[in-house]
Copies of this chain bind each other. A is one copy, B any other.
């Protein structure tokens, strides 16, 4: 890292200790004018990132110095638990004054966390038109396009000239709305969405030109019930900055902006990743130990049940095991490799499904490839393990059992690990559930059966291994 990189890295992270100690000191000596200036020179996101470094009295003093506008942006950047903690110490009038500075989508996000009484109290304070817009967003459940959208936008008619669009835009901004506008939307009679105009076009084109002459026609849009994962995929595929949300008649309800989608992408990736790791719901920074343990216990319990199943399969072979006790430690190798190969196939297929890379056309090819890959590796690992076992024990029978056990185990791992996520998706279930015990146990049961079954046959034939 060169000097400037360090310098600018500072702006985002490395100088946190200095900033924190400066702010704490200014609180302690009650130099509020200086504190105010120091805070406002900081990006609201930076203050949010630093928030857990301050104690309660400091937080109170800091909040007292923030302008409503700054506080509003700061609140949207805080985690919802930290925001709630602040709201508990403030009355609804204080909250309203800050929310007033925000756009409809951010207001809706914050209101979702409040209790219904406070929400209603705050909604009544907004002007009627604005309340309606926020209520429209709140109507849609979290995780949908409707809940993500902002109702703050400028919609103009097909026949509006650039000149009139610019003056409408200026008027709206004067009323403290639409500060972040990137696009003007063009609508038909009845507010039906027909196209959009990037703001820069308003500068580049002659002021007498009409909206319909310079607009980009409507190509991609979503309904408010669309799930956020699909929304994120559309943004990614089409490199969008904004996506219009329309109702069943094509009427423009709002638009989703790319910054919200960035968060969605992270959320969805986190969800998939945790589920693959056997963690259903987890938020380590918010949940209590007991909550976290409860959240993971179901998974472990189901696993226990299925492991009991494979243990039960093994008990059928207790005679074989007592004849050749060495088979017991080797079982751990069979189980371990089957589990690994299953997870490899599941992970690759689940991620490919999430990225939309698997479709009806190539699904059988994908499964065949996974089976091929794990079978190939089964032969390699099986051969290697058999050689190890033989050189350690000098017993070809045991080595042969090891080889057949691993090959069949890993063949099944590829088959089950790649098919199960696809089947789950076909039934509209989460493919990541395939990382669970069903696949691994099935693989284990097959592996153990072949391993111990071959051993039993050989012992029957030759009286030993």
Contact = CB atoms under 8 A, between A and B. Distances in A.
Interface in A21-54: 43, 45, 49, 52-53
A457 interface: no
A330 B313 CA distance: 11
B331 A289 contact: no
Given A49-B237, A246-B8, A259 B262 contact: no
Given A236-B266, A241-B241, A308-B388, A348 B282 contact: yes
A252 to B, nearest CB: 12
Interface string A308-339: 10111111001001100111111111011101
Contacts of A204: 169-170, 173
A53 B3 CA distance: 50
Contacts of A351: 270, 273-274
Given A270-B355, A348-B279, A329 B312 contact: yes
Contacts of A322: 322, 325
Contact of A307 (B272, B277, B333): B333
| Chain A: number of interface residues, binned into ranges | 35 or more
A24 B259 CA distance: 38
A420 to B, nearest CB: 14
B203 A170 contact: yes
A8 B244 CA distance: 11
Given A259-B239, A326-B318, A331-B332, A1 B296 contact: no
A295 B254 CA distance: 46
A58 B260 CA distance: 39
Given A237-B49, A259-B241, A337-B300, A1 B169 contact: no
Nearest to A285: B357
B311 A333 contact: yes
A128 to B, nearest CB: 27
A335 B333 CA distance: 10
Nearest to A319: B325
A434 to B, nearest CB: 11
A369 interface: yes
A21 B297 CA distance: 50
Given A200-B199, A248-B3, A290 B376 contact: yes
A8 B222 CA distance: 6
Contact of A330 (B4, B273, B311, B369): B311
Interface in A270-313: 270, 272-274, 276-279, 282, 284-285, 289-290, 292-293, 296-297, 299-301, 303-304, 307-308, 310-313
9 contacts: A199-B199, A270-B355, A273-B347, A284-B352, A300-B340, A321-B321, A321-B328, A332-B332, A332-B448
Shortest Cβ-Cβ A-B pairs, 3 listed: A277-B347, A5-B223, A314-B329
